[in-house]
Structure 1
Amino acid sequence: MRILSIVTLVSPTGEYGGPVRVAVNQARALTELGHDVTIAGSFRGFPEAPKALEGIPAHLVPARTLLPGVGFAGLAAPGLSRWVRSAARSADVVHVHLARDLVTVPAAMAARRAKIPYVLQTHGMIDPSRNPLARPLDAVATRRVLRDAAAVLYLTPVERAGLRAVAGDGIALSELRNGVPSAAEAAPPQGLEVLYLARLAPRKRPETFVAAADTLGAEFPKATFRLVGPDEGRAEEVSRRIRESAADVAWEGALDPDRTGERLSRAAIYVLPAVDEPYPMSVLEAMAAGLPVVVTDTCGLAPIIAETGCGIVVDDSIEALTAAIRRLLADPALRADQGRRAREVARERFSMQAIAHDLQAIYRRAVDGQPEAAPQDADPLSSP
């Protein structure tokens, strides 16, 4: 099949986060199955448009900030929709990693107008919202593309409910997990590093990580605490707290997504204090690297982490987060056991091969005009 995959923003720092990693991982796995995949979207931060992403052909146009002050929602990609309408004619299916922005929504509308089967994957980004920009965009476009999609892919029951609240019960919902490529088994880390690798965004609560480090620094003088990721509004506060901390804590800045695996291999523990995080790729990548993970109970991966014992699930308090990190720092055997379990869970339940086969089936149903089956109400993480 010829597949066109569309994302919002590609940059050398990976600032758009998980959706781009998901799209690239899917494209690589689908290519290995013999499919022809092209990734399209907008870009910034490169001297010129990349022609490929990790070996996958790409068509990227310069990102423009059409609406300042609203983050990624204000981005636009002039000319992309016109290109999508043309390119879609030679594609079998279009896969849009949809958000409420002026890149992916117009691209989905273009596929809809071209009458090409299209699949939407929303990554937890389409839900009932009080944002004043959401209502007019939903009325004009978002609901239309959701209702006419051959399939709308969701990660968790919470996301499924949110999509129904936005677009009604008639949309063709289908469960699809995120997957992660297998990581080579690395030698045990030389140091005792606790790592936060994610955007410095309010929902991800990087300052909570710094607060935990400040408490634990004196108890574990050999431990280091590192934040890695681009700023999305919290860098000033994080930097202030780091200056005031007596712990060995530092922010390393943004990192090229291609170097994520190598950076994770140097850590001993991975921590993401985020709340309401649907299905963080950074946690899956840490698990694949064999790291014990600490997440909050509102993380979409929390049920499987708790069930399999590959990390520790906490509430959203600083005290609970600090206690979980303390427990792992103090117990090398626990770190090793949870890290081993994490690698096994990533390999057995989140392999990209399985995801690619699931996607292939979804695409074929879309091309054949077969409706998606009604989703079950069971927790999609409850079984392997």
Structure 2
Amino acid sequence: MRLIVGLHHLELGGSQLNALDLAVSMRDYGHEVAVFGNYTDRPGPMADLVRSHGLPLIAQRHGAERLGKTMPARPALSRALARAAREFRADLLHVYEFSVGLDAFFGAHVRRGLPVVTTIYGMRVPRWMPRYGEIIVGTQQLVEEAAAFRARPTLIEPPVNTDSDDPAATDGPAFRAQHGIGAHEILISVVSRLEPDMKAEGVLRTIRAVELLDDVRVRFLVVGDGPSFADVSAEAQRVNTALGRTAIIMAGSMGDPRPAYAAADIMVGMGGSALRAMAFAQPLVVLGIRGFFLPAGPDTVGHFLREGFYGIGEGDVDAAPLAEALRTLVDDPALRAERGRWGRQLILDRFSLKAAAKTLNEVYERALAHRVPARRRLSEGARVAGHKAIADSLSDGARQRVRRLLG
């Protein structure tokens, strides 16, 4: 099988790293695999990572653009993805996140009938998404929610490459020395794209929690870049000035962030980054939005296995409760070690890349076996376009009310 994997973008992020790990696994299954990704100014770190794994990269320059209210897909990217599929002679497209899913659906699928598999590692599956075709989601909750209005999705929890994401495979002490972090200091780390809509909030809250801890042993390392980098850096500088020391280190983006995971004593984060933290046997506090945080452990794992390593709080973004949760780990090295061992074992037992790759190969086989007639492709395209246009015309409050009504 000839396969193109379409990335959300070429910046470093959990979805893109998961996509690359699975793309390499599919190549190891014997498939011919190429990777498609778009960028705004210049290709991000994912471009080099894709090439370093020996996969051909189709990088498409595309200006920053949101899906418009009158257009269900981005015309330029839709055409570029269809052209890439034609030139690569692809049998199937596997794309990540719903924006690229729409580009693939309205281009290569509706026009040419090429099968499309879409992975959504976000927190919801929009009701305007196509009702047929293979969709992969990352939580059991999303499987159940989406099955109410479309063909049942497949659950593939964000996989972890436990061979490379292993504390024994990376030199954490060297990374600490490089950043001037002493062996006696307790390093809290986060590896995250800094985006205003989701991830920056938790990082900013952690910076303020470190300020409240006011413990000379504690330092916080932020690895990542993105639209909110300047705002996060400004807050880091404010806290460093207030504490009179460099408590917060802004490391920027890393092509290979594994040393940052291995060097930490405590990790904070969400999604795929949270899973990688546990693979490195690090105690973890999961962050979300609207003030959510929850330490990962045997007593909280049920929440994460159902809803994902993420959460939505009640809107109280006071950093004091998070500071106390971090203090518990800072002051108890035995608890840190215990949580680290537990997390590593959970990843080995449930989130291995090998198991995810086997399930994904089965999804591909089903997608190739299901050919959709042109008439149905056109009618479903019209439904998706109309439904999305109506949804986009509603205010945020109206959309929330409709979602509650529909369950």
Q: Is the 8 A contact 2:4 2:93 kept in 1?
A: yes
What is the match of residue 192 of structure 1? 186
What is the match of residue 116 of structure 2? 118
User: 1:60 and 2:59 equivalent?
Assistant: yes
CA shift in 2, pair 1:84/1:233, >3 Å: same
User: 1:23 and 2:6 equivalent?
Assistant: no
TM-score (norm 2): 0.71
User: 1:221 and 2:212 equivalent?
Assistant: no
What is the match of residue 300 of structure 2? 306
Q: Is the 8 A contact 1:147 1:172 kept in 2?
A: no
What is the match of residue 281 of structure 1? 272
Residues 155-304 of structure 1 correspond to what in structure 2 (within 5 A)?
A: 155-160=138-143, 163=146, 169-182=149-162, 183-186=165-168, 190=183, 191-202=185-196, 203-204=198-199, 205=201, 206-217=203-214, 220-233=215-228, 235-236=230-231, 238-240=233-235, 242-244=237-239, 245-246=242-243, 248-257=246-255, 259-272=256-269, 280-296=271-287
Q: Which amino acid aligns with 1:347?
A: L
User: 1:147 and 2:134 equivalent?
Assistant: no
Identity in percent: 23
CA shift in 2, pair 1:158/1:68, >3 Å: closer
What is the match of residue 90 of structure 2? 91
Q: Is the 8 A contact 1:179 1:351 kept in 2?
A: yes
Q: Which amino acid aligns with 1:341?
A: W
Rounded to whole Å, the distance in 2 between the matches of 1:46 and 1:117 is: 27
What is the match of residue 326 of structure 2? 325
- Give the match's secondary structure for 2:98: coil
What is the match of residue 80 of structure 1? 80
Q: Is the 8 A contact 1:309 1:338 kept in 2?
A: no
Q: CA deviation at 1:152?
A: 0.9
Q: Which amino acid aligns with 1:216?
A: L
TM-score (norm 1): 0.75
CA shift in 2, pair 1:237/1:353, >3 Å: closer
CA shift in 2, pair 1:125/1:47, >3 Å: closer
Q: Is the 8 A contact 1:64 1:76 kept in 2?
A: no
1:179-234 deviation digits (Å, cap 9, x = unpaired)? 011123337753420112212233222210111100112xx312211212113236
1:19-69 deviation digits (Å, cap 9, x = unpaired)? 211110111222222222211121343499767253222211113224599
Q: Is the 8 A contact 1:61 1:78 kept in 2?
A: no
- Give the match's secondary structure for 1:195: strand
1:313-336 deviation digits (Å, cap 9, x = unpaired)? 996652321111101110111111
Q: Which amino acid aligns with 1:265?
A: A
What is the match of residue 360 of structure 2? 359
Q: CA deviation at 1:163?
A: 4.2
User: 1:108 and 2:105 equivalent?
Assistant: yes
Q: CA deviation at 1:287?
A: 1.0
CA shift in 2, pair 1:68/1:30, >3 Å: closer
1:259-315 deviation digits (Å, cap 9, x = unpaired)? 21112111110012xxxx6xx1111111111111001476899687823999x9996
- Give the match's secondary structure for 1:61: strand
What is the match of residue 10 of structure 1? 10
1:71-109 deviation digits (Å, cap 9, x = unpaired)? xx9896485134245147x33322111333xx5422232
What is the match of residue 404 of structure 2? none
Q: Which amino acid aligns with 1:27?
A: A
Q: Which amino acid aligns with 2:38?
A: S
Q: Is the 8 A contact 1:64 1:75 kept in 2?
A: no
What residue ranges of structure 2 are gaps of 5+ in the alignment? 174-182, 373-407
Q: Which amino acid aligns with 1:222?
A: R
Q: Which amino acid aligns with 1:6?
A: G
Rounded to whole Å, the distance in 2 between the matches of 1:330 and 1:313 is: 25
RMSD between aligned alpha carbons? Answer: 3.7
User: 1:335 and 2:336 equivalent?
Assistant: yes
Q: Is the 8 A contact 1:288 1:342 kept in 2?
A: yes
CA shift in 2, pair 1:56/1:171, >3 Å: same
Rounded to whole Å, the distance in 2 between the matches of 1:67 and 1:362 is: 29
Rounded to whole Å, the distance in 2 between the matches of 1:325 and 1:307 is: 18
Q: Which structure features the higher share of helix residues?
A: 2
Rounded to whole Å, the distance in 2 between the matches of 1:75 and 1:331 is: 55
Rounded to whole Å, the distance in 1 between the matches of 2:118 and 2:226 is: 28
Q: CA deviation at 1:158?
A: 4.2
Rounded to whole Å, the distance in 2 between the matches of 1:256 and 1:74 is: 29
